Structures are given as structure tokens and as C-alpha cells.
Structure 1
Amino acid sequence: MKKYLLTMLLTVLYVSGAFAQSITVVDKETGDPLEGVNIFTKDRSIAEVTNSQGNASIEDFAEAETIIFSYVGYNTVRFSYNEIANRTSPIALQQKPLSMGDMVVSANRWKQDTREVPVSVAQITPEEAQLQNPQTAADLLGVSNEVFIQKSQMGGGSPMIRGFATNRVLLVIDGVRMNNAIFRGGNLQNVISLDANAIENTEVVLGPGSVTYGSDAIGGVMSFNTLTPKLSVSSEPRIEGNTLTRISSANWGKTGHIDLNLGFKNWGSVTSLTYSDYQDMRMGTDGPSDYRRSQYVERINGQDQVLTNERPNIQHPTGYNQVNVMQKFRYRPSESWDLKLGMHYSTTTNLPRYDRLTEKQNGQFRKAEWYYGPQQWFMTNFNATYYSDAALFDKLKTTVAYQDYEESRNDRDFQDPNLRNREEHVRSYSANVDFEKQLTNRSTLFYGLEGVINKVYSNAHVTDITTNQQTPTSTRYPDDSRWQSYAAFVNYKNNLSEKFTLTAGARYNQYLIDATIDAPQFQYNFGRADINRSAVTGSAGFVYRPTESWKIDGHISTGFRAPNIDDIGKIFDSEPGSVIVPNSNLDPEYAYNFELGLQKMFGDRLKLDLSAFYTILDNALARRDFTVNGQDSVVYDGTLSQVQAIQNVASAKVWGAQASMELQISPSLNLSSDISLQKGEEDGPNGTTVPVRHVAPTFGSTHLTYEPGNLTIDAYADYNGEIPFSDLAPSEKGKPHLYALNSNGNPYSPSWYTLNLKSSYNISDNISLNFGVENITNQRYRPYSSGIAAPGRNIIFGIRGHI
């Protein structure tokens, strides 16, 4: 009997001791492992950090009286060693309602405490995304209240950040740049290829991010991280899944989504599928009548006919469908390696270009048809992360990716049987190697290499829709052209003291363009573009934390954009009476940015955040009058058009400020508000200055959120200021069909506001209901520079399931 009891005692001690060798730390709400949790004793003589699975060894803490668990944005907890040894569950940390810090990846491609980051980073959490229930990834960006969204059609969404947009802001998905060689200066809709329901978190870096991300990152970087396979922290498999059914009344939108996670100890998988169907968008009833769709064109019995719209608040045609599929695998063979393979696919039906279909010339519709063909995007990427104590790095991350993107433009003039079709196909290959090395207890080095190759294929033809006969026509881009970029960068961070952090970085970028520009319709040989040039950018910043409740930061940085295939070789009509022609004699444009930021916590209830910036764009690529073979006007697609080209002829200045406030009135009641103000001017004709096209009006949002138990209610107002005719950019003044008309008959962008309500109720741990009403007062408004009016009163209902 004594032998039996002794054996039992030894077994218990062995099991207890074995358990006490390591501990897992998770998020209390989600149960997800937390990486980077600091575990230490009071005197910090012993310290550990949890790995990507939330695990850390506590073997060295056996003699410690108190063990402290600390993580940015979470409440700190303390345990004795015996308390941990006797636990049968992970350590669960609770997020703070308000905090000075958070963890972000986008600032330097590795996780970093925002208290040590001198740039402004806006975050959109999964909880915010689920409550707001956005229709597209473009609408998801709008949730940040830092990004202004322009739409030329319902199947669109062009982000504008600090006065820059399109090819001057960068889209990044799972660490891979999405911008390609045909990203244009005009408004883009590529962001809708991403599935808003498969995005785990979103970060927006405000201001130049070229040191880390290279070309295009002038106004900001939008970094999307999609669902990652979650591994099991026990011997049992981790099986989780989510479903969503969503309907919205303004366009009778219907969305169905499902994702499934299967995780074991060393490997896991996540699968996501979303299908969306959207009908024509209905605008509001209270606002400018200029936006109403009183007529439209339809082909009947072989003839284009102008029909009266019996429901002029319905914007016809705007509807489309979309499918998104994602599959990811993850394998973690040891604590040192984490391997991920991802595949994304997105496709749409035809996307009607609503703004072009409302254009008139001499009182008659200019176009009978104008639509983008199916927008197809495929990406596969492989990511390998290696943790080591090597001399050159502590962490190494390699990402290789392949993207295949297809789009087309299809247009036909009113009463013209010829339908023009221009198709573009881009194949993108990229590789990134990122390193992190902690040099001392206070200093860290981040550095990396990047290579990108884009191959562009372009073809075009005209189809006589009465005979189906096809004939070749001019392509939009040089066919079989190539754009390449190779770079090396380094970022350095030093916590000079507990209160002061210094950062600095630099990047060297070499880019190459190879394209043969053939434009027989101009009877002029543009020749071969063979460009091999470089760009150098840098940044420096500081963060000063005089107390735990203060953060003061400053940052100086440069950004650049290298000319791409769209800049040097495009041929298209930008607006009636103008045609863009190729110009291969282009240099990079540079941005010089200065900003200051201030954060202040008042107790644990009130947080204020203020930042101001000033950006100078030099050697800017802009559209200006040009000549071809000595001619300043040519006939293009049957219209005599002014010849223009992209040229390094301009400079611009953009300045502004963002302010936010968050007040925790009570544990269940929260008030928050954000506002952004921007101004800008660029070189105009004859030594004048003119407003910058992509500077948004003053915009903001105020939210009152109530969370009593299983219910969340968010009552909020969105608002935009006016841009009068005198402050419109010259290019916008030439597009009266986009705007309301003032008393003098001139276009302008009116101010507007909406009142909105969103709610979520957890019926159980597995089912929740979402209900919302957007634009409660049914305002008729159109966001600045948009070609489509925003939804009128929009009732949204969704059911979410979780297993």
C-alpha cells in the first residue's frame, strides 16, 4: 500500500512539475493564443515572452514569489508559481476598454507596440467589422474614419488618404503588395477583390511608408491580414467555423459567407467562401435633385432608345454579383518554424460604370454601354517564419507570391453599333525577406529585401454588335511589357530610455521598365521604353512618453512613386475631348512628409489623440498638354481630342490634421468621435496654384456605443463638409455630371450628414443577430468625386453563426 501511495505521489509531482514547465496565455474573449506576452518577476531578474502559440517556459520562475503577465492593451495579472502549477486552463487576459498602446504589424512588417511607433496607424478590429457589417472591403476601410472612399460605380471603392489616392496609396494583403504596373491615377476599384468577411484585422499607416513598402506608399499603406489557421493548444483538434447571412434593403443585397478552421497541434487549415448579389442602388429622397436618374438608355429592337425612369431614385444600371474563395494551410513542425500557404480567388460579373452612363454631350447621352468586364484576381502566397538566435537575426520571414489579375473595359457610343473591348492581364511575381534582430535590450534592427516583377498583356478589338464582326483596335497599354522593382531597406529602433524611443530607416530601390509602344492610329512611332532608374527614401522619428498617460511623437519621412506601365504607355480618353498618349521620359516623384502627434489618457476613461501633417510632393507625375508628331489634337475613337500625357511637371502641397476622442462613460457606455481636415494645392497653368484633386472634404464620425451584456448598440453620425465650386480641382470642374449644381449652375460638392444605428445581439454562444439602419433620415447625397449617389435609408439584417 505504501509503495502504491508513493507511486501516486511521484506521478502527481511529475505531472504537476511537467505542467509547470510551460504555460499558455490566451485572449479571454476569443480564446486565441497571445504572442509577445511579457512574463517577468517584480525585479525583472527573470523574464520570458510567449511564442506564436501563446506558450512560454516558466521553469526558471520556480522560486519566484510573484509572476507578472503583461501585454499591450490588456490588463496586467499576477500569480504565484503554485497558482500557475495548479491550473488546468490557460492564463486568460482581458482587453482594456481604453489603452495607450496596441500591437501593430504594418509599421515595419513585424509586431510592434504602438507606444514605440512614431507614425499614425489606424486599426479596424474584427469586432468593429462585425458590428458595422460592411458590404465590401472598400466600405470596411471607411469604418476607420481615417480613409475617405470615392465610388464611380457600386462595384467600386477608391481609398483616399491625406490628399492622395489610387497609385499613390498602397494596398497590402498578407504582407504582399497588391498594387501592380497598371494602377492608374484615376479612381480604382481593385480593393473590392478582397473579401471583407475573410479579413482578420486591418491596419492603415497614415503618411509615407516607402521605406518599408517601396513605390506608391505616399499617402499611406492599407494592410489587410486575412484569416489565419488557428492551431490547437491541446491534444484535441480545434474546430471552429462561422457563417453569415446578410441582406440590405437599399440595393437588395444578399450575402452568404462560411469559413471553417481545422487546427491540430502542428498543422491547420482555414477555408472561406462568400457569395454576394447586389441589385441596382436606391438613393435617398432628401437632397439635390441633380443626382436623380430620370432617364437611361436601353437597346430595343436593335436601336438605342432613351427611356424614362419611372423610379428616378433607382440608379440603373449598378447591380453586380461577386464570388470570393480563400484556402489557407499552416504547418508548424517545431517552435522555430511557422509555414503558411494561402490561395485567394475573386471574380465579379460585369460592373456597370455608372458615372460614364450618365454623361451627356449636347443634351444627349454620350454612351449607350460602358462596363468593366469581370474583375478577376488570383493570388497564391507562401510564408515561412523562422525563429532563431542567429548572429544576423532573431526572426526571419520569407514571403513569395504570385498574382494574376484580369480586367476589361467595354464601351459603345450612343447609336453606334461598334462595341470597343480593351482587355488587360497582369501577372505579378514577388519575393520578400524580412529580418528582425534585437541588438541590445533597448535597440532592434528591422531590415529586408524585396523583388517584384509585373508582366502586362493588353489586347483590344471592336465588335459590330449588328454583325458580330470583330476588327483590331488600339490597346490601352503596350502588350507584353514588363515592370520590375528590386530593393533593400533597413529600420532601426532604439529605446534610449523608458521615456524616449528613436527610429530611423532608409531604402534603396531600383526599378526597370521594358515596353514597346505601338500606336499606329497616330501614325507616329513612340518606340521602345527601356528605363533603368533608382530611388532612395528615408525616415526618422521619435516617441516621447513623459508619463504612462502621455505620448508625443514626431516623424520626418520621404516617399516615392516610380513610373509604371500606366504612366509611360497608356492610350485612353480621360474625359470627353482629351486623349492620353505615351511618354517614356519620366522620373520618380517624391513626397516629403512632416508630422507631429499627441496622445493623452485622463485616468482610464478618456483618451485624446491629435496629429498634424504637412506633405510636399515634388517632381509630381501629372497630366498636361502634349504633342504627337507636332500636333496638339488628334482624332481618337471618332472624336477630335486634345493630346495630353503624364509628365514630371508639377509640385503639390497637402496639409491637415486628424483628431479623435474616446470617453468611457461607464463600463457599458462609450462615446467616441473622429474628424479629419485636409487642404492642398498644386501647380496650375501660368504660375498659378489650383486645388489638389484627391483632397477630401472635412469628414468625421461620432459614435455612442452601449454594451449591456449580450447586446451591443451603436448610434452614430457620419458627416462631410462642402467643397464649393471655387475649391474644386480643374479636372473636377469639367465633370458636372458628378456633382450638384449651385445657384450659378456650377458644379460643387454639398455637405451632408447621416444618422445611423447598428446593433448586435448574442442569442447564445453560437448565434448572434445583426440589425442596422443606415441613413435613417433618407438623405440624398454623393460623397466627393463619386459618380454614384450613396444608399438611401438602408435596413441591414444579418445572422451570424459560430461553432
Structure 2
Amino acid sequence: MQFLNSMRNIGVVLAFFLTSLPIFSQEITVLDSETGTPVVNIAVYNRDKSKTIVSDFDGKCDLSIFSRNERITFRHISYEVYTSTKALIARKGNRVYLNLRPEELQEVVMSVSKWEQQKKNIPQKIESIDARSIAFSNPQTAADLLQNSGKVFVQKSQLGGGSPLIRGFATNRLLLSVDGVRMNNAIFRGGNIQNVISLDPFTIKNTEVIFGPGSVIYGSDAIGGVMNFFTQKPRFSFTDSLTISGNVNYRFASANNENTAHLDLNLGQQHWASYTSFTYNNFGDLVMGSHGPDSYLRNNFVVRRNGVDVLVDNDDPQKQVPSGYDQINLLQKFVYRPNSTWNYDFGLYYSETSDYSRYDRLIRPDDSGEGLRSAEWFYGPQKWFMGKLQITKKGKNKFYDGVKLTTAYQRFQESRNNRDFQDLIRNTTQEKVDALSLNLDFENKKIGNLRLYYGAEYLFNKVRSEGSWLNIATNEVNAAPSRYPDGSTWQTFAGYINGEYQLNPNFSLLSGLRYSQVWVDAQFDNTFFQFPFEEADLITGALTGSIGFSWFPKADLQITMNGSTGFRAPNIDDIGKVFDSEPGSVVVPNPDLEPEYAYNVELGVRKNFHDKVVLKGATFYTYLVDALVRRDFTFNGEREIVYNGELSNVQAIQNAAKAYVYGFELGMDAFFTDNWSLSTNLTLTEGTEEDDNGEDSAARHVAPTFADVHLIWQNDRLKADFFLNYNGEISFDDLALSERNKPFIYASDANGNPFSPSWYTLNFRSQYEISNALKGTLSIENITDQRYRSYSSGIVAPGTNLILGLGYNF
């Protein structure tokens, strides 16, 4: 009996202890979500601010004054506002993780030296797009992510596309980088490319866009700018136990009946972490707007009935048939950090699309002008795989304070498939590129106020290319000319040094040099064409440099100036391509090419008026010499040859032009109250190409004047943005010669000549925090249902587009 009484008493004590546990465990810790370090002086309060406390030096605070389900707000000048309840915080181990505010994140950039630098010390113009801005704009693709920023113009030949234009340059004169690894490969072409859509916007943590040459750090191709995408990093646990977190997202868009699903999962321990992401996109045919040029309508399209191509009327001429496609994106990252000195980062990236039509080729009229030239023109699945290993060591050393070794393997795969109307032969070319890269980068901060960044790079690309044709009636398959010399290689080795010198707290000087050696080897097959040469064996070198300063004559005024050079070495696409470039013309190989060089100067000004209004301006001028351009050529002494059964004018890439590009970039941010703000951007660019005969013509990749104005309202839970997008006109006289040859994608002026009309759209975006874990987005794009086509684009932009999104984090 005494034993039973003792057990009863113990039970009472345990019950009291368990029921009292929440009272004794109401101390929480507030931590930085990136570093895991405590955040000091966090203001914590309830809805009416009748209860207020502040976190101590260790980031700790006692929530006992708050009730279990009372809504609590955490606020700090440098961090995003966070709201929760004691009950939810307890479920997460009594820890609160805060994210830096976007403006704080933008103070540090990685792209200029591959190491963290203060943005205020950089003389070049850099724009950062953080994950919160990306989530708010809710882009369908990474190309849309860039376009939504208002700083980059994007051209689209088809829905599954997006070719950025920066300061009058595009495609192979811009460099794409993901997590520090170069995406540009040996077959990046001068025509519009869509490789950027291989990146999943859901996984992008930050995007940094460098305007102007970046060849000192990135080598060949970085003439007009660099777009560096940084994906999400696995997050460590700052406790002794495993932490599990993640996100689930869904998005719907009405203009192309989009359905997108995304899931990511983070596992974290103190020394290792894993991040897994999966995204599936299903895009239907895109519907254009109701108000605009009738020539943009899709009045008819080709179908195959009973073994015959038939031109049929489109029941809905605003629907662009066919333009839809599917895409999947996978990302797996592992990070191991045994101590504060070493860090091992391993990542696997994969993206694959379905077949998708090249819409601008499907709307080309035939010679009669009554029908369509192509029955089929589509890209095969675009596949991209990358495996990356990066090892970072930090700590004092005789030669460096930090060293970073990055190795990567990439596989690119694409194909082109086309068949003329009433033709039984479908022509196909398939390309695969294996790309190896090795980067060794050092940081040294030892020499007083001088910080040095230096390193070396080796790249190797091998191109596999095959051609074939298929008789769709008999299924007979035969070999055909390949697009590139099969087995050709492109490789480069380079070394660079970059320095940042702080003369005083208000004046910093940056300068750098790089030397690159490039080797190209291509063996030509004479099976289908009798080339007047057997191989292309090029060895070229380039020395590039930059120098600039950032000066604060006053605390609220910044002046920057920068001079730099950039280059692009000929690649396999320049030297060895055989391709139907446009109706009636064919591009043939030219092994006698040299690098093109750019010389750039820019001036920037930033003025802050009492933290209420910030004005930003930049002007630039770029001179391109020995420009690699497509011009008339001869092949075995002939100016015309038969290609795919058609007598075609012979052209080739040649060092045959100079180019002048200049412009202005203006912006303003105004903060009226804690809730209301205004943001505007305006970009004006002009450019001219001059050939060897001294004849001028408009530069093809100079975008029209474009601008946006955003009126934003936000509080702790709701953000709303009403904005206008504007694009100026490009008249026939200002249209590049190559664009004049594509009248079917343009409107007609009063004289019947093609031109690109001006256009505007009114738009609305909003994001609402339903709970701490659940967020919803609602956007309406092109509210007035304008029918417009962006400059040089084949696909017509969406009409009124309702976008709904739902995101849950756990």
C-alpha cells in the first residue's frame, strides 16, 4: 500500500512538471537564418504594442508575457519583419530565424571578384535581384525573372525561350553563370538563345547582373554584361539535432493555362546540410491580347490529315498554336563544413523540356504569301546537366586569406527539326556539348588597405553533332549534314589579378588584368560538302583590363567611373556552322577568324535625399572592333549554293564590322511613408554597326527605349504593386537590316515597311501572408489586354493574364 502511495505521489509531481513545462521553456533564441549567429536588440511586441521586450546580447528573450496563441512581431532595422505565435515557435525548437532585408543583402556582391565585396566600393553598375523579389514577381522562367526586374530587355522567338539584351549586346556577347560556373559553351550562337530557361526561378536565391564588360573575371563572351545566378544554399542546423524544413508551391497563369508545382526540402545538421528541389511546369498555348495589330493574329496553321499537310483556319486567332511545352527541373546540393576553415559544396543540376515549337519559323509565309513555308519547326528536348564540386578554405596564409577550388562538368543537349509544307522530309540536327571547367580563385587582404583577388581558369568543350533526315511517310532515315564539325573542341586557359584599394573611407579604386589563351580545333567532313579546307586550327590570345573608382564626396552622394575592355574569341558556332540562317541564305564555315574586342567607359551617379528619395543614373559608351558578324561570302568561289534543295545566298561569320553602342540608365526610388513607395527605371540605348566599306546600319541587338513605374504599398502581411511597363518604337529606318528581312514578325508602317510599334501595359501584383507558413500571390498582367510583340520577338506577348500562386513553408 505504501508503494502505491509513493507511485501516486511521483505521478502527481511528474504531471505538475509536464504541465508546467511551457512556463519554464518560454525563453527563445533569435538567430540570423544564414549564419546562425544571435541577433541583438530585436524588438518583440504584440499587435497593439502593449507588451514589448528586446532580445539580449545572446539573441535570447523571454516570451512569458505573451499568451500561447497571441500574434507576436519581431522587428529589426536590418531584417525582414517576422510574425508568429508562442505555440508555433515552440514547435520549431524555441528558435526564430530572421532573413536579412533585401537592401541589406544588396550591400554585398559576389560577381565582380568571386568573393564578397561591398557594393558601394564597386565602380561598375550591378543590379541584384533577391529571392523575395523573385517570389513576389512569381516569374514563369528565369528569362521572365530578368525581364521583371525592369533592368534587362528580353527577346523571345517562342514561348520556351528568352534571350536577354544588355547595353546593345546579346547571346554570345553576354555571359551566363550559375553558382560561379560558366554556362556559355562552344556553340553559343549570335542568334537568339534560350539556355537561361534551364534555370529554375524557385531555386534562385539571388541574381547579380553586371552591366558592361566582365572579361577580367569571366573571360571570353563577357562583353555586354554578366548574369550570375546563385541558387539556394543548404541550411545548417544550429542545434544538436537534425532540422527539417521546406516549401511547397503551386502557380496558375490564365494566358497559357500554366500549371506549375514545386517542392523543396532542406535537411540540416551542425556540420552537414542537404537541399533537394523539384519543379514541374506545364505551359499551354499562349493567348495574345485583343487590342493591337491584326497582322499579329494566328489566323491559320498547319495540320496533317490523312498523310497530307493542310492549312486550317484557327478558331481562336489570338491563340498561338502551337506554343506550349512542359519542363522539369531538379536540384540536389550537399554541403559539409567540418569546421570554420573548410567548406565542401557539391551540387547536381538537371533541366529538361519537352519538344517545343520555334514559333517565329512557323508563321513565315511561303513565296506566294498566301500559305506557310513550314509544316513543322521545333526544338527537341533541351537538356542541361551539371555536377559541381567547390572546396573553400578560409584562414591566414602566406599567399592568401581564402582559396576556392571549383570544378564542374556540364552536358548540353539540343536538336532542331524542320519540315517544309507538303514535304515528306523532316531534317534534324542534334548537338551535344561536354564542358569541363576548373577554377582556382584566391583572396588576399594582407597588404594594408589593398585587397587582391587572383586566380586561374581552364575550360574544355567537346562538340558532338549529327545530321539526319526522315521520310515521314516511309520512316526511311538517312544521314545528312551536321550543324557543326563532329568532335570539334574549344578550350581556354587564363590567369587574372584584380585589386581593390581603399585610399580613404570615401574613395576606393579597383583595377584588374587577365590574359586568356584560346584553342579551337575542328575537322571538316567532306561527305556532303566539298570544303576548301580540311580543318580549323586556331590559337588566339587576349589581354583585357579594367580600372575604375567609387567616390563619396558627401555621405549622400556617390560618383563612379570605370573603363574596361572585353573580348570574345571565335567558338565552334562561328567557325564551323552550316545552317539555314534565314530564307534564301545559308551560313558556311570560315576558319580564318580573330577575336573581337570591346572598349567601354561608363559614369554613374547616385544621390540620396534624406532617405526619402534616391536618384540613380549611369551613362556608357562601348566601341566594338573586329566584330564577328554575318556577311556575304563565297564557297569554293561560288556566291550561291544549293542547300536543302534551295538555291541560297552564301554567308559566313567574319571580322567585318565595327560597332558603337551608347546609352543612359536612370532610376528613382521614393519612400513617401512606411507603407507607400515609388520606383521607376528608364533605359535608352543607341547603336550602329559599320562594315568594312564604311556603310552604317542599325545594330541588331540594341533594344528600344524601355521603362517601368511601380507604385507599391506594403505592411507586415500584404504587399501590392501597381505598375506600368513601356517600350518605345523602332521605326523602319532604325531597324537592323537582318530584321527588315523578317517582316512577318513586325507591324507595317504607312509605307508598308516593317517596324516595331511602341506599347505599354498596366499591371498589378500582390502577395498576402495568410499565416506564418502560408502565402498567396495574385497578379493581373496586361490589364487593358494589349496585343504587342516585343522587339525582334516571334511570339506575341500574353494578353490579360491572371496569375495565382500559393506557397507553404514548413
| TM-score normalised by length of structure 2 | 0.88
Is the alpha carbon distance of 1:36 and 1:687 closer, same or farther for their aligned partners in structure 2, counting shifts above 3 Å? farther
Q: Shift of residue 523 of structure 1? A: 2.8
Please list every run of 5 or more consecutive structure 2 residues that lacks an aligned counterpart in the other structure. 1-28, 42-56, 60-75, 81-92
Aligned-pair CA distance for 1:34: 7.5
Cα distance per residue 1:444-488 (max 9 Å; x no partner): 000111000000000011100000001111100000110001100
Structure 2 distance, partners of 1:454, 1:126, is 32
> How many pairs are equivalent?
738
Q: Establish whether residue 238 from structure 1 lines up as the match of residue 243 from structure 2.
A: yes
Give the deviation of 1:95 after TM superposition: 5.4
User: Counterpart in 2 of 1:63?
Assistant: none
What CA distance in whole angstroms lies between the structure 1 residues aligned with 2:449 and 2:386?
38
Q: What do the CA deviations read for 1:322-358 (whole angstroms, capped 9, x no partner)? A: 0000000000011100111000111011010100000
Q: Deviations over 1:256-302 (max 9, x none)?
A: 00001111100000000000001100000011111100011111100
Deviates more, 1:413-422 or 1:677-686: 677-686
1:36 Cα deviation after fit = 14
In the TM superposition, 1:91-490 aligns within 5 A as 102-362=107-367, 363=369, 364-490=371-497
Distance 1:722 1:657 in 2: 17
Asked whether the 8 Å contact 1:435–1:448 carries over to 2, the reply is: yes
How far apart are the structure 2 equivalents of 1:524 and 1:801? 60
The answer to whether the Cα contact below 8 Å between 1:100 and 1:601 also exists between their aligned partners in 2 is: no
- Residue 672 of structure 1 is aligned with which of 679, 683, 689? 679
Q: How far apart are residue 749 of structure 1 and its match? A: 0.4
Deviation at 1:26, TM superposition (A): 4.7
1:647 to 651, 654, 662: 654
Structure 2: which amino acid aligns with 1:625?
Answer: D
Structure 1 Cα separation of the partners of residues 712 and 509 of structure 2: 37
Q: Percent identity?
A: 49
Q: Is the 8 A contact 1:230 1:238 kept in 2?
A: no
**CA deviations over 1:645-686 (Å, ceiling 9, x no partner):** 001111100000111110111111111001111000011474
1:507 aligns with 2:482: no
Deviations for 1:508-563, whole angstroms, at most 9, x for unmatched residues? 00010111022443333431111112111000001101222111110000000010
For residues 435-584 of structure 1, the aligned pairs below 5 Å read 435-584=442-591
Alpha-carbon contact 2:657-2:692 (below 8 Å) kept: no
The answer to whether the 8 Å contact 1:627/1:643 transfers is yes
- Residues 358-393 of structure 1, C-alpha deviation per residue, up to 9 Å, x if partnerless? 001222311100000000110000011100200111
1:780 is matched with which residue?
A: 787
Evaluate the alpha carbon distance shift between residue 685 and residue 751 of structure 1 in structure 2; reply closer, same or farther with a 3 A threshold.
farther
Match of 2:741 in 1: 734
Separation of aligned partners in 2, 1:151 and 1:97: 29
2:746 corresponds to 1:749: no
* Aligned counterparts of 1:604 and 1:90: Cα–Cα separation in 2: 33
Matching residue's letter, 2:708: S
- Name the residue aligned to 2:34: 32
Conservation of the 8 A alpha-carbon contact between 1:253 and 1:277: yes
Contact 2:426 2:469 in 1 (8 A): yes
**What letter matches 1:369 in structure 2?**
E
What CA distance in whole angstroms lies between the structure 2 residues aligned with 1:626 and 1:716?
Answer: 48
Flag the 1:92–1:240 CA change in 2: closer, same or farther, 3 A. closer
Deviation sequence 1:417-465 (CA, Å, 0-9, x none): 0000100000000010110000334110001110000000000111000
What one-letter code is carried by the residue in structure 1 that aligns with 2:242?
P
SS in 1 for 2:384: strand
- The AA in structure 2 aligned to 1:767 is L
**Structure 1 unaligned regions, length at least 5:** 1-23, 40-55, 59-70, 76-87
Aligned to 1:587: 594
Comparing 522-531 with 602-611, greater Cα deviation is found at 522-531
Matched residues in 2 for 1:100 and 1:229: separation?
18
Q: Distance in 2 between matches of 1:336 and 1:650?
A: 51
Residue number among 797, 801, 805 corresponding to 1:794 in the alignment: 801
- Tell me if the contact between 1:450 and 1:486 (Cα under 8 Å) persists in the aligned partners: yes
1:72 is displaced (CA, Å) by: 12
Could you tell me how far apart the structure 2 residues matched to 1:348 and 1:316 are? 18
Deviations 1:148-170 (A, max 9, x none): 10000000000110000000000
Question: CA–CA distance in 1 between the matches of 2:427 and 2:598?
Answer: 38
What amino acid is the match of 1:260? Answer: L
Cα RMSD for the two superposed structures: 2.3
CA contact (8 A) 2:106 2:128 kept: no
Q: Give, in whole Å, the separation in 1 of the partners of 2:77 and 2:515.
A: 33
In the TM superposition, what is the alpha-carbon distance from 1:147 to its structure 2 partner? Answer: 0.9
Gap change, CA 1:608 and 1:238, over 3 Å in 2: farther
Tell me if 1:689 matches 2:691.
no
Counterpart contact for 2:31–2:38, Cα < 8 Å: no
Calculate the TM-score normalised by the size of structure 1: 0.89
* Cα distance change, pair 211–565 in 1 and its aligned pair in 2 (3 A): same
What corresponds to 1:698 in structure 2?
Answer: 705
Alpha-carbon distance, 1:735 to partner:
0.3
- C-alpha distance in 2, partners of 1:744/1:222? 40
CA contact (8 A) 2:102 2:132 kept: no
SS of residue matched to 1:521 = coil
| Counterpart contact for 1:247–1:796, Cα < 8 Å | yes
Q: Secondary structure at the match of 2:423?
A: coil
- Determine if contact 2:34/2:99 at 8 Å carries over to the other structure: no
Report the AA paired with residue 186 of structure 2.
A
Q: 1:494 to 1:34 in 2, by over 3 A?
A: farther
Pair 426,37 (structure 1): closer, same or farther in 2 beyond 3 Å: farther
The answer for the alignment partner of 1:656 in structure 2 is 663
Give the Å deviation of 1:412.
0.4
Distance 1:643 1:671, change over 3 A: same
Cα deviation per residue 1:2-27 (whole Å; 9 max; x = unaligned)?
A: xxxxxxxxxxxxxxxxxxxxxx9954
* Shift of residue 237, structure 1, vs aligned partner: 2.7
| Secondary structure, counterpart of 1:795 in structure 2 | strand
**1:709 Cα deviation after fit:** 2.3
Aligned to 2:643: 636
SS at match of 2:553: coil
Cα deviation for residue 92 of structure 1 reads: 8.4
Distance apart, 1:235 and its partner CA: 2.1
The Cα of 1:101 is off from its aligned counterpart by 6.3
C-alpha separation between the residues in 2 aligned to 1:441 and 1:238?
Answer: 42
The CA deviation string for residues 586-639 of structure 1, in whole angstroms up to 9 with x for no partner, is: 110000000000111111221111111000001110111110111000010011
> Is the 8 Å Cα contact of residues 560 and 591 (structure 1) preserved in structure 2?
yes
CA contact (8 A) 1:138 1:158 kept: yes
Check the 8 A contact 1:100/1:115 in 2, yes or no.
Answer: no
Cα pair 1:519 1:526 within 8 Å, conserved = no
